[in-house]
Amino acid sequence: MTRLLPSRPRGRAIAVAVVVGVALVLVSPLFGRAAVTGMYRPVLPGDGLTSGCYPLPGGAQLDFPYVLRSDSDVLDAHGLHRRVVLHYDRVDGAEAVARAEAAFEAAGVADRVGVSARDFDVPDDYVIRGEMVLDLPLTGRESDDPDCENLFVTKRFTPDLPDRS
């Protein structure tokens, strides 16, 4: 006669496997898992233009939303100067340029800077609308804040060129 039910040793093995499996599920959060903090976004670096490390000339502050992309010293046909590239958000190029020029005018340095922009060909509901380039006089580091060593804050990914003035 054939038995349809498992034998006792086999039944015990299944029961033990189930108990061990349940125990592993219950204790697994204690081993090798990250602590639950409720924060699922990384801490973002500060704004490189307002950190005090390499401020804009005259203390100018841009009053439109932007993302700093790069900040470097360059040597080209116009000589040695600082080149800041940013993406402007929620405004078009004409408005971004007008507001940047007004900020430099208010800071008394409008005659020493160049501002240009190009709009991206994107739908109206996109946040990033275009790219702006600021041609500025050279500036050295103006703060001892440890964030000034963080390339992701300053966006100065290229080494500073020596001052040739």
Whether the CB-CB separation of 81 and 137 falls below 8 Å is answered with yes
Q: Which two tokens stand for residue 36?
A: 């639950």
Q: What is the DSSP string of 118-148?
A: EE----TT-SEEEEEEEEE---------GGG
pLDDT for 60-81, tens place per residue? 999 999 999 999 999 989 899 9
Provide the pLDDT for residue 158: 77
More confident residue, 43 or 131: 131
Provide the pLDDT for residue 14: 78
List the domain boundaries for the chain: 57-154
Can you say whether residue 79 is alpha, beta or left, with left for phi > 0 and alpha for psi between -120 and 50 degrees?
left
> Is the pTM of the predicted complex or chain greater than 0.95?
no
Cα–Cα distance, 52 to 11 (Å, whole number): 71
Whether the CB-CB separation of 134 and 114 falls below 8 Å is answered with yes
CATH code of 57-154, in short, is 3.30.1360
Above 90 in pLDDT, residue 40?
no
